[in-house]
Amino acid sequence: AGTRTAPRPGRPEPGEHRRYRRPFLDTDRRTTRLACERQHLPVWDDPHNADPSFTRSRVRHEALPALEKALGRGVTEALSRTARLFRDDADALDAWAERAARTATGPDGTLDIAVLGELPPAVRRRVLRRAAIAAGAPAGSLFARHIEETDRLITAWRGQRPLNLPGRVEARRQGGRLVLQQAIR
């Protein structure tokens, strides 16, 4: 299981208009069911929600009840609040990274090392991730270790060789620029 604040399936990429609204995400099942019954609306229970082969189901039916038992009531609500705060933070960092990428990116698509070096790590790594994806690295194959290695080309430059990233993308330092492009083989 990974941990990240990057967009997941169903969550729009930064800058996209939010097409999907989830107004009942913070409403518990009992309240939702009662509201439907009072308005004579049909209630449909997704069988996947009870299937233990899905991680979300095991979390809902095993992990959260165990946490509530060990720590007391309110764990689910606290996690929901924390998720909202993380989402807000991630959205702000993504917007900052988008602006920083525009500033750092030259007409040839390379990135200015000096500009990147002035950014906080969370923002800089978002810029690097976007650049790697734009160069052809598949988002699902690009892991934190890839971004951290690329980041070291900026923060711990020691004459390293070019990096090979997923999707045959090469990251290398060339002069005062960071180049991310398809490797020629």
Residue 162 maps to a domain: yes
Q: Give the number of other CB atoms < 10 A from CB of residue 47.
A: 8
Give the model's pLDDT for residue 185: 64
What residues make up the domain containing 59?
A: 29-73
Same structural domain for residues 96 and 178? yes
Reference 131, options 177, 90, 185; nearest CA is 177
Q: What is the pLDDT of residues 153-167, one digit of tens each?
A: 999 999 999 999 999
- pLDDT, tens digit, 9 for 90 and up, residues 25-81: 778 888 999 999 999 999 988 888 889 999 999 999 999 999 999 999 999 889 989
Question: Which residues are paired to 171 by β-bridges?
Answer: 163, 180
Is 80 part of a structural domain of the chain? no
Domain membership of residue 173 (yes or no) is: yes
Helix axes 75-104, 121-134, angle to 10 degrees: 70
pLDDT of 13 over the 80 cut: no
107 and 138 together in one domain: yes
We report the CATH number of the domain holding residue 106 as 1.20.59.20
- In the chain the first and final C-alpha atoms are separated, in Å, by 34
Question: Is residue 59, in this structure, part of any structural domain at all?
Answer: yes
Taking the C-alpha atoms of residue 139 and residue 62, their distance in angstroms, rounded to an integer, is 31
For residues 96 and 172, membership in a common domain is answered with: yes
Contacts of 90 (CB under 8 A, 6+ apart): 5, 6
Residue 18's pLDDT band (cuts 50, 70, 90): low
Domain boundary pick from 41, 73, 105:
73
Please tell me the distance from the alpha carbon of residue 63 to that of residue 74, in angstroms, as a whole number. 14
Is the predicted pLDDT of residue 16 greater than 70, yes or no?
no
Which residues lie across from 170 on neighbouring strands? 164, 181
CA distance 162 to 23: 46
State how far the Cα of 28 lies from the Cα of 58, in Å rounded to an integer.
17
The confidence score (pLDDT) of residue 23 equals 75
pLDDT at 15 over 50: no
Q: Taking Cα atoms as reference points, which of 43, 47, 76 lies closest to residue 60?
A: 76
pLDDT at res. 14: 45
Span 102-153, pLDDT tens digits:
999 999 999 999 999 999 999 999 999 999 999 999 999 999 999 999 999 9
Predicted local confidence at residue 26, as pLDDT: 73
41 & 110 share domain: no
Q: Does 165 share its domain with 120? A: yes
- Dihedral angle computed from the Cα positions of residues 142, 148, 154 and 159, in that order, rounded to the nearest 10 degrees: -90
Question: To which residue do tokens 């960071």 refer?
Answer: 178
List pLDDT tens digits, range 78-95. Answer: 998 999 899 999 999 999
